[in-house]
């Protein structure tokens, strides 16, 4: 278990940022590299097989799920022949509110998967606690219906870290630190998949 942050008063923001940056770096490097390798391979295989990639999260994690659509759909396609089909289940506000109102909030992601997902697709969940009920239910449905599951988590990892095929667990005890590391992981995966398809001689001339 990592130390809680902040655990003391800081005299100024400059001092605060030094420790915050250190914790983000430590959190990112705490994620097992073998799991990052597996996540990148799963994403690339799904794109090559023309599968759908779903992402979901609550609150700040919803913003990361929405951002993932941009970096995987547009980013990976830039200078490559890869065309990712990516859907954020957090971006369908009309459907989310209908499901939450008529069924229950815990079903907002699993219910969408029942309609849209097929065996061979990929689900990426983003949850700092790893224990949000709607995330756990989405993972359970995906696992039972032939999807590859990737869970980003923090703190103890919660149920999602244990339920997913691939666990990208950030060892940190601060929501901002965990979310920043998850955002970085999203960028890392998208940029790595893109980079893997570009001839090495061209890399130095391109912006990432």
* 71-117 confidence digits (pLDDT tens): 999 999 999 999 999 999 999 999 999 999 999 999 999 999 999 99
pLDDT at 157: 97
Q: Can you give the pLDDT at residue 121?
A: 98
- The pLDDT of residue 2 is 75
How high is the pLDDT of residue 3?
79
Could you tell me what percent of the chain has a pLDDT over 90? 98
Distances (CA, A) of 203 to 74, 81, 147: 17, 15, 33
> Dmax over Cα atoms in the chain, in whole Å?
55
- Confidence check: pLDDT of 148 > 70: yes
In 3D space, the residue among 173, 164, 171 whose CA is nearest the CA of residue 39 turns out to be 164
DSSP-derived 3-state class of residue 43: helix
The band of 132, judged by pLDDT with boundaries at 50, 70 and 90, is very high
d(CA 170, CA 185): 10
Q: Is 52 in contact with 117 (CB distance < 8 Å)? A: yes
pLDDT tens digits, residue range 2-32?
A: 778 999 999 999 999 999 999 999 999 999 9
Q: Which two tokens stand for residue 24?
A: 């983000």
Handedness of CA 144, 147, 150, 154 (dihedral sign): negative
User: How much is the pTM?
Assistant: 0.96
Instruction: For residue range 184-198, list pLDDT tens digits in order.
Output: 999 999 999 999 999
Query: 3-state DSSP call for residue 11?
Result: coil
| pLDDT at residue 1 tops 90 | no
| pLDDT for res 67 | 98
Mean pLDDT, to the nearest integer, of 36-40? 98
Mean pLDDT of the chain: 97
Domains, the chain: 33-198 (3.40.50.10490)
Task: Mention every residue, 6+ apart, whose C-beta is less than 8 A from residue 195.
Answer: 203, 208
The count of other CB atoms within 10 Å of the CB of residue 90 is: 26
Cβ 149 vs Cβ 165: under 8 Å: yes
């Amino acid at each position: 278990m990592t130390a809680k942050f902040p655990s003391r008063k800081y005299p100024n923001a400059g001092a605060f940022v030094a420790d915050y940056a250190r914790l983000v770096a430590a959190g990112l490097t705490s994620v097992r590299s073998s799991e990052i390798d597996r996540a990148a391979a799963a994403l690339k295989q799904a794109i090559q097989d023309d599968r759908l990639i779903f992402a979901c999260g609550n609150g700040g994690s919803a913003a990361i799920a929405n951002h993932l659509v941009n970096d995987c759909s547009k980013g990976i396609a830039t200078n490559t022949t890869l065309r990712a089909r990516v859907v954020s289940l957090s971006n369908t506000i009309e459907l989310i509110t209908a499901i939450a109102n008529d069924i229950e909030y815990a079903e907002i992601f699993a219910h969408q998967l029942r309609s849209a997902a097929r065996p061979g697709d990929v689900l990426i969940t983003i949850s700092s606690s790893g224990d949000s009920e709607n995330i756990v239910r989405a993972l359970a449905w995906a696992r039972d219906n032939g999807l590859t599951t990737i869970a980003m988590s923090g703190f103890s990892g919660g149920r999602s870290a244990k339920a997913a095929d691939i666990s990208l667990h950030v060892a940190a005890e601060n929501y901002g630190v965990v979310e920043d590391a998850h955002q970085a992981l999203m960028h890392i995966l998208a940029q790595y998949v893109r980079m893997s398809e570009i001839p090495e001689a061209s890399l130095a001339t391109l912006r990432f």
